[in-house]
Chain A
Amino acid sequence: MDYYRDIVTGKNKQGVEKLNTGLYELPDEDIFCEAVSDTEYDYIMGTIAPWALDEFGIIIDDYDFDEIDSKQVEAFLEKIGNDKDKVPCLYEALTTAKRVGGSVEICF
C-alpha cells in the first residue's frame, strides 16, 4: 500500500498561520510538505523518536500525527547535530520552522 510519511511546516508567516488555524489544503505554496525516504524514516524512528518521547512527550509513530512546537525546534536541531545528512527532510523543515517561527508536524 502506497502511503506518505510527511513532514510539514510553514514556509513563511502565511504558512504558519494556515497550519495554526488548520485552514489549508495541500499542496499549498506557503506550506512545506515533504515525504521522508525509507532511510530517513528509519533514522527518525530509531534515534529521534525515542529521544523525543523521553524528552518532550512527543509521539512520532506510524499512522498518527504529532508536532514539534516552535519552542522545541532548537532542541531537535541540536539533537540532529552532525547527522543532518541522514535526515534531510526533517532538517530542512526544522531550519525553515526556526526561521519563520513555526511548528513542525510529523505525519507518519
Chain B
Amino acid sequence: MRKPEFIDKDKLRLLLPSQAEFGITPVDLMYMGTQGKNGEDTHCTAVYLCTSFSGTPKADGQEMHGALFLSPDTLDEQFGDNLFPPFADSLKTPKSAQIMQTFSMDISDGCGIMEKDEGREDDGPNSLPYGLCKREGIDTEGLSPSECWEALEEKTGKSQSELFAEEKQESPSSESTSKAAKSPADLLHLRPLKEGVRYNAYDFSDEIKEYEATYPKAEREAAKKRAAERSRFKDGWESHDMDEVIHRLLKSPKIQSPTKSGKVSFISDETPLYVCYDLHSDYFTVIHKNKRGKSRYHGVNGEPLLNYRDENVKTHGMPKGERMKRAHFNRRK
C-alpha cells in the first residue's frame, strides 16, 4: 500500500484531541489505512494504531468523561449501538492488526484489510478546521476540511501546524487536563511496612498488581525494557540484605506505591536517604533526596559515592563504571 502524503498532517490532527481530551501524547503511531468513503451520511476515516504514549490518561470532564481501557470486543458488545460510527468501524482494524502482529506478518502492504481512498476527507462539521474558520470569519459552506485548512492558511498566513500549536496553547481544557495528567504524586502514597515481612525475600506481588492496575501496559513495557538493559550489568553488582539496609538506614520506614517506571521506595520522614527497589529487575539503590545530579546516589552504608579518599586521605573522583557498580545492589535472598 502506498503511504499517503497526508500522513504527517493526520498524525498532527491526532495529537491535539489526544492531549486536550485525554491528557496523553501518542508516541508510536502506526498507520493502518483508511476506511469508508465520504458521502452524504458517511465519512472516510484514517486509522492509526497507538502502541505507546506519554502522560496519564484522564478524561477532560467536559467533552470526554470516564476514560477507561476496554478491549475492542468489550466496546463492541457493551457500547456498540452508541459508538461514533467511524470509530466503531475503526475497531475492526486494530483487531486485524493484532492478529497479524501475532503472526509477525508485514502489514505495510495492507493485506487486504482496507482500501486506500484517494479522495478521502475527514472531520465532521464540528471539528477543528471548521471552528477555526468560524472564528476567522470564513464561510465554510460547501468547503471540505482540507479546503478549510487551505482557507485558514491563506487568511492567517500561518501553516496548519502553527494553527494547531496556537489552538493548543489557547485551549484551557488542554492546559488543565495536562496538568491533571502530570500529577504522578496523585498516584503515589505511603503506607506502613508489612508486619513480619522480610523484604530481601519478598516477592512484591501486591505491589506488582498495583503497578499493573495503575499504569498502562505501554508504559510498563517501556520501563521493563529499560530495566532489562540495566540488568545486563547485574552480575557485577554486590548483593546485600535489603531488609537490613532499609532498617539500618531509615527510621520508621514506610513503603511508597510503585512509580511509572516500576520503582518502589522505602522512605522515612526522619532521614534524607531512601531505598529504591526496581520491580522489573530486582535490584535496589540508596538515594539522598536533597542532593543534585549523580551525587544523590549513595552506597549501601549511606556513604556518598561521587568521590573517595585513599589511605593517604587524598580525594579521588569515582570512575563512572565503579560508581555505577557501587550504586546498584542485588538482593541477598
Size of the chain B interface, CB-CB below 8 angstroms: 47
Contact B316 A42 (CB under 8 A): no
CB neighbours (8 Å) of B319 from chain A are: 22
CB neighbours (8 Å) of B327 from chain A are: 65
Contact B294 A46 (CB under 8 A): no
Size of the chain A interface, CB-CB below 8 angstroms: 37
Partner of A65, one of B225, B261, B297: B297
Q: Which of B250-272 contact A (CB under 8 A)?
A: 256, 259-261, 263, 265, 267
Total of A-B residue pairs, C-beta within 8 Å: 106
* A17 and B25 alpha carbons, distance in the complex (Å): 38
CB neighbours (8 Å) of A63 from chain B are: 259, 261, 263, 265, 276, 278, 285, 287
Contact B294 A49 (CB under 8 A): no
Main secondary structure of the interface of B (DSSP, over half): mixed
Contact B52 A50 (CB under 8 A): yes
CB neighbours (8 Å) of A49 from chain B are: 222, 226
CB neighbours (8 Å) of A4 from chain B are: 292, 296
Give 10 nearest A-B pairs by CB, closest first.
A46-B54, A22-B317, A21-B317, A62-B261, A26-B292, A38-B182, A8-B293, A23-B317, A63-B276, A22-B318
Contact B289 A61 (CB under 8 A): no
Contact B293 A1 (CB under 8 A): no
Main secondary structure of the interface of A (DSSP, over half): mixed
Q: Which of B39-56 contact A (CB under 8 A)?
A: 52-55
Interface flags for B170-189 (1: CB within 8 Å of A; 0: not) read 00000000100010000010
Say whether A67 faces chain B, with CB atoms less than 8 Å apart: yes
CB neighbours (8 Å) of A62 from chain B are: 259-261, 263
* A21 and B319 alpha carbons, distance in the complex (Å): 7
